[in-house]
Amino acid sequence: MLKKFTRFLFSREKIQYDVLIVGAGPAGLSAAIRIKELDPNKSVVVIEKSGTLGGHILSGNCFQPTAMNELFPNWEKMENKPPLDTPVSEDHFHILWNEKLSLQIPHMFYPSTIRNHGNYVISLGDLCVWMGEQAQALGVDIFTSTAGARVIFDEKDRVIGVATGDMGIAKNGEKKSNYQEGIDIVANQTILCEGARGSITERVIEKYNLRKDCEPQSYGIGLKEVWEVPPEDFKAGLVQHTVGWPLCRNTYGGSFLYHKNTNQIHLGLVVGLDYENPNLSPYQEFQNLKKHPKISRFLKNGTCISYGARVLNEGGYFSIPKLTFPGGMLAGCSAGFLNVMKIKGSHNAMKSGMLAAETICAKQNVEPGQELVEYENAVKSSWIYDELYRSRNFKGSFKYNIYSGLFYGAFDGFISKGREPWNIKSHVKESESYLTKDKAPQIKYEKPDGKLTFDLLDNLARSGTNHEHDQPAHLKVIKEAGPKESINLYDGPEQRFCPAKVYEFIDTKEGKKLQINAQNCLHCKTCDIKMPKDYIRWTVPEAGGGPNYSGM
């Protein structure tokens, strides 16, 4: 049943399930569906902090249907088909040298790993809505507007569920007239599918030291707009990727431009968050991108209808943590299964959710708090690991500049095919990668024209983001000296890296003072990763708030 869980009781309520899934993305919904396919008697609940299914889902997305073919073998013949209605028709890759010049790479030089024949241009949010309907039909409970606030442990320090957040708490901590206490959802197994940098996932990883045998995760920020364009500027299924301008050669990133039925263009820029220059603004770089002729030719007569941003994992094979803990598992982007070479992760997310489900259902009796180590073995034996291992050195090869990365990508794609006997590991903690402000080059960004490029706050309105104003701050300043050190050392990069203008330094008699506009937050998690001195901790706000990425 799909529903918003309404809390009627004033005493804290507890509900019991066999399996609790945190996050209604492709991994979580695939897990729920697969469990019900294998064992209809198992009780399954999915909780989702967004007010609607798909509301917080943001992705490119050029979708590889490998896992879809396994989960729904006859999906093309279903009466209620999934929204995969735009097959890739053309596949282009360009190096942008500057604001005007570019080089198109001939298709014959594309490694097979990055070719998109057989893939589909989709809205991942729309696919999650469809998958939610399939899960509902199988008897899965889906609670939207239900945010997991903290993990519940038993007396042996094992995970036995998640406590949802209270509703109706004022900024001062007092209960308002509409106060509703959260509930405790307990389960034999909890599958964490929150996406990149999930707040509950990070606490679990920290508690059980799940990263002790892997490299730290690395991240990028993806910014996206959806445009409606006239038919003469539209070519269904056209896929275009670029690297280079507007980013400098030592900043990792690239763009995507996908033509999706009907007359929509999904455009985005990904910027690696290990960039050095504190004056760089990923949002402004995204606006600059649209001025290039390879981009503007499609948009010049169109209308921007949506905007959003979200971080993504870029660590790949070397950054996959231990996948199990007492009482649960990590799946999807909570584990970091994005393939940065392919620029795809939804298929791996779905497959990992299916493997988690199959592991649970293979056990006759799963006790509360039991650690199912078989899941990690299943993932390592699957095509997820094969794919990520082959591309393991791709991100690391960009540590010098984009050209070293492109050269290595070609070498890997045509010669070594992932069989090289060496590993290239390259991780810089994003919050420590900055040059100090006296050494950082200045960057001057032009004013937006309001037609092709937009002021950030004007664009933010297209995200649909909204929060209850009178609630405790969900962006916690955990180091009081942090803002002062940030402005003194780096000139406050948080006012530039945030894609929603949450952070501003305002002039006061005492000097620059940080102002946090939490109501603007897109839940992208960039501040939790890139903040100088790590002085901010992102926590979940009141459920139902945040962006509304319907159709993105």
Both tokens assigned to 29: 């919904």
If you write DSSP's letter for every residue of 263-277 in order, what string do you get? TEEEEEEEEETT---
For residue 511, give every residue at least 6 positions away whose Cβ sits within 8 Å of its Cβ, in sequence order, or none.
none
Domain membership of residue 437 (yes or no) is: no
Composition of the chain by helix, strand, coil, percent to 5: 30, 25, 45
Domain membership of residue 132 (yes or no) is: yes
Q: Could you report how far apart the first and last alpha carbons of the chain are, in Å?
A: 24
For residue 417, give every residue at least 6 positions away whose Cβ sits within 8 Å of its Cβ, in sequence order, or none.
390
The secondary structure element, H or E, covering residue 253 is strand 253-260
If you write DSSP's letter for every residue of 176-198 in order, what string do you get? EEEEE--EEEEEEEEEE---TT-
Predicted local confidence at residue 427, as pLDDT: 79
For residue 406, count other CB atoms closer than 10 A to its CB. Answer: 17
Domain membership of residue 181 (yes or no) is: yes
For residue 108, give every residue at least 6 positions away whose Cβ sits within 8 Å of its Cβ, in sequence order, or none.
none
pLDDT level of residue 410 (50, 70, 90 thresholds): confident
Q: Domain count of the chain?
A: 1
Domain membership of residue 83 (yes or no) is: no
Tell me the residue range of the domain where 11 lies. 2-63+126-214+321-390
What number is the average pLDDT over the span 512-540? 97
pLDDT surpassing 60 at residue 7: no
| Choice between 114 and 142, residue whose per-residue pLDDT is larger | 142
Predicted local confidence at residue 11, as pLDDT: 53
Domain membership of residue 376 (yes or no) is: yes
For residue 93, give every residue at least 6 positions away whose Cβ sits within 8 Å of its Cβ, in sequence order, or none.
104, 105, 110, 114, 240, 241, 242
| Pairing between β-strand 503-508 and β-strand 511-516 as defined by DSSP bridges | antiparallel
pLDDT level of residue 207 (50, 70, 90 thresholds): very high
Q: Which amino acid is at 505?
A: F
Q: Report the distance separating Cα 332 and Cα 195, nearest Å.
A: 7
If you write DSSP's letter for every residue of 65-85 in order, what string do you get? -HHHHHHSTTGGG-SS--S--
41-87 per-position pLDDT tens digit = 999 999 999 999 999 999 999 999 999 999 999 999 999 999 999 99
Domain membership of residue 331 (yes or no) is: yes
241-272 per-position pLDDT tens digit = 999 999 999 999 999 999 999 999 999 999 99
Domain membership of residue 456 (yes or no) is: no
Domain membership of residue 159 (yes or no) is: yes
Query: Percent of the chain at pLDDT above 70?
Result: 98
What number is the average pLDDT over the span 469-483? 96
| CATH code for position 377 | 3.50.50.60
The secondary structure element, H or E, covering residue 200 is helix 199-207
